[in-house]
Structure 1
């Protein structure tokens, strides 16, 4: 007898994006960072690219806050911009904003976020899910690896710290929320397609970083 839960959106999402998520969070660039094979400036560059992404995504959250579906997924305790800006001040100095630049793949990713996440709740939730739940799982592991590899202790790694959340409990709650969204099968397909696109864009950004630093 088939598991009745296998048709839930969260189950479909896990099944249909498993390979893409694995590729996005195990790139050659991230592996090199995690093992300390790159200069610490490569990590600073990753933090800079994250700042451009999260600026786009968190501005979209403000735009979508009145949407009955999208606002369900807006959690202030997830916001990464304040932590990223603290990291960038530590890594680049007080004039960090004049010292960072978006790579071409990052610019493409931000354009997609602005287009998809500002125009429809499906796009917003797809990019929100891909970024934040990735941060809560593989991202925290990467943060610990970078701390070991480069000797950071707090400063420079605030992006990876979710002080006001129990990550495992929150991930479970988030997936339960996904299962309550009143989307049709076609809308669920659109959502999963956009998650896959977000993973592809993440991989492209990591490839740009790898080409710069290796």
Structure 2
């Protein structure tokens, strides 16, 4: 008899299919050293600076996608991080924080890919939206706690505004609603398109991991 089991929710497909790339990025030497307290505040500030380029790419043309049938429901200013990163960078580097800040090669490749997708393939942009923002609302909170303890940032958010979602009162409920929207988005795609988005999700984690690798080269630990 034919199977009548419901299809696997698209949010689960994305999470499972990209788990290896996600784990590889999380286990980067740079992040292990940073969160282990073996790197200084400068390394944390540089990470924030590189993320600023990434989120400018994600958010710079997000308004243009608000009417897109699949991506539009995900465009939510409550998630936007560019302004929060700018507040952090001013705290970490002072009012002239833009001087000397430039994208690392991996960051430039990452942002170029996001900008390409924003213009040419919004469904692919969704893969990057998912990997970044859901990660910020989950593991990012661990980074916030460690940063506060390691570098003495106060609990009002100075230095860690990036990880403080002031307009999201219940992160757990928000993430559940986000995953439900992913499931709906998956139903709007055919199987070939879903596979393409899954592949782009893997690529997003790989691009993120490449940024960590570049940062690791810039901040090597002494032997």
- Residue 92 (str. 1) matches residue 93 (str. 2): yes
Relative to structure 1, is the Cα distance of residues 92 and 185 closer, same or farther in structure 2, using a 3 angstrom cutoff? same
Given that 1:20 and 1:200 are in contact with CA atoms closer than 8 Å, whether structure 2 keeps it comes out as: yes
How far residue 35 of structure 1 moved from its aligned partner, in angstroms, is 1.5
Work out the CA distance in 1 between the residues paired with 2:27 and 2:119: 29
Given that 1:27 and 1:206 are in contact with CA atoms closer than 8 Å, whether structure 2 keeps it comes out as: yes
Describe the SS at the equivalent of 1:100: coil
How far residue 125 of structure 1 moved from its aligned partner, in angstroms, is 0.7
Stretches of 4+ aligned residues off by more than 3 angstroms: 2-6
Tell me the residue number matched to 1:174.
178
Tell me the residue number matched to 2:191.
185
- Residue 211 (str. 1) matches residue 185 (str. 2): no
Work out the CA distance in 1 between the residues paired with 2:7 and 2:20: 18
Structure with greater proportional helix content: 1
Correspondence list, 1:17-56, <5 A: 17-56=18-57
Unaligned runs of 5+ in 2: none
RMSD: 1.5
Work out the CA distance in 1 between the residues paired with 2:112 and 2:209: 16
How far residue 3 of structure 1 moved from its aligned partner, in angstroms, is 10
Relative to structure 1, is the Cα distance of residues 125 and 140 closer, same or farther in structure 2, using a 3 angstrom cutoff? same
How far residue 6 of structure 1 moved from its aligned partner, in angstroms, is 5.7
Tell me the residue number matched to 1:70.
71
Tell me the residue number matched to 1:161.
164
Work out the CA distance in 1 between the residues paired with 2:77 and 2:68: 16
- Residue 103 (str. 1) matches residue 107 (str. 2): no
Work out the CA distance in 2 between the residues paired with 1:5 and 1:52: 40
Tell me the residue number matched to 2:201.
195
Larger radius of gyration: 2
Q: Deviations over 1:1-24 (max 9, x none)?
A: x99456221121121111211222
Q: Structure 1 length as normaliser, TM-score?
A: 0.95
| Count of aligned positions | 213
Describe the SS at the equivalent of 1:97: coil
